[in-house]
Amino acid sequence: MPILRILLVRLLTTAITLAGVAVIVFFVIRVVPGNPIAMMLPPGATEEDIARLSALYGLDKPLIAQFGIWVSGVLQGDFGTSITTRQPVLDLVLGRLPATLELSIMALVMAMILGGAAALTGTRYRGGRTEGAIDVANGMALSVPDFLWGLVLILLFGVLVPVFHISGRVTPSLDLPFTTNFYLFESLLRLRFDLWADIVAHMFMPALALAIPLAAIIGQLLKQSLKETMNLDYVTLARTKGYGETRVILREALRNAALPTLTLVGVQFTFLIGGTVIIERLFSYEGLGNMAIDAVINRDLPLIQGIVILFAVIFTAVNLIVDLLYTVLNPRLRHG
């Protein structure tokens, strides 16, 4: 019963949040100066041409009416037509979504590996120089945002020791046999490891830049809760059985220490996804964020709306899932 109630309340607040995002983005971008219609017509177009095209995109109606048309369209899965490319917004956005998803998930996995390794090593050698060094590295990683790490990586692995690609998603001259836009995933399924390696070499630096700050957060939190767990009675018991320190950490402590970290990773993951916007720009990676910045520069109003809404849906969905997971995994809340 409590779970059902929590679920209902959360779904309701999520709906309110998304509605709020829709209202704000719609009216904010209507204030953007510059007529998108005039920009898409060749110079020398008459007033009449502009008026006709405006009518075609519904831009001649009053704002409230435009909003009503857009909302009723969105609710039926129609996000309108992009002004610059003249393709349906939904197709464009869904076409780019896999690239951003793959990048975000790769970054999340990297962050978990790096942060987990830092926490485990720090706990294993706690109180010594190793832990001190890990703390300093964590502090640095946390203080500097993904954008700057991306630039540092470009210099290190793109210029100084050029081992990775600094722009794009895949080498353009390659022949791609893919039917979906999940390049990383599909290249594995098709056993095309040559393509897979090329894609990873493109994604490595942007993913790492996104991963570094999150890895630091995971490292700090997990180490803290691991160290607390190490003082609990059942861990001492495992030690008296004669298990080695490493085994005690991995087998006994980790399982209990992971839960508080996992819940925080969820919220931080939305920050990571938000970071893809500028990181994709920095690495000329053809994902949603890069398309969003182009859409703003080109004043492509329907496309901007579609992308922002999609980001908001992803953010709220991640938060919702984490909240529910936490409720399910935490026995105190489940029976509370």
Question: Using CB under 8 A as the criterion, which residues of the chain lie in contact with other proteins when the complex forms?
Answer: 13, 16-18, 20-21, 24-25, 28-29, 31-33, 127, 139-140, 142-145, 147-148, 151-152, 154-155, 158-159, 166, 270, 273-275, 277-278, 281-282, 289, 292-293, 296-297, 299, 304, 307-308, 311-312, 315-316
Residue 77 vs 127, nearer CB to other proteins: 127
Closest distance to other proteins from the beta carbon of 299 (Å): 8
Contact 39, 298 (CB under 8 A): yes
For residues 128 and 119, what is the distance between their CA atoms, to the nearest angstrom?
14
**Joined tokens for residue 308:** 């922002």
Closest distance to other proteins from the beta carbon of 149 (Å): 9
Closest alpha carbon to 78 in 70, 66, 67, 86? 70
Closest distance to other proteins from the beta carbon of 282 (Å): 7
Residue 28 vs 189, nearer CB to other proteins: 28
Closest distance to other proteins from the beta carbon of 251 (Å): 26
Contact 59, 66 (CB under 8 A): yes
**Joined tokens for residue 67:** 């909003």
Residue 70 vs 311, nearer CB to other proteins: 311
For residues 239 and 244, what is the distance between their CA atoms, to the nearest angstrom?
7
Which amino acid is it at 53? L
Contact 55, 47 (CB under 8 A): no
Phi, psi at residue 143, to the nearest 5°? -75, -25
Residue 29 vs 262, nearer CB to other proteins: 29
Closest distance to other proteins from the beta carbon of 313 (Å): 9
Residue 24 vs 237, nearer CB to other proteins: 24
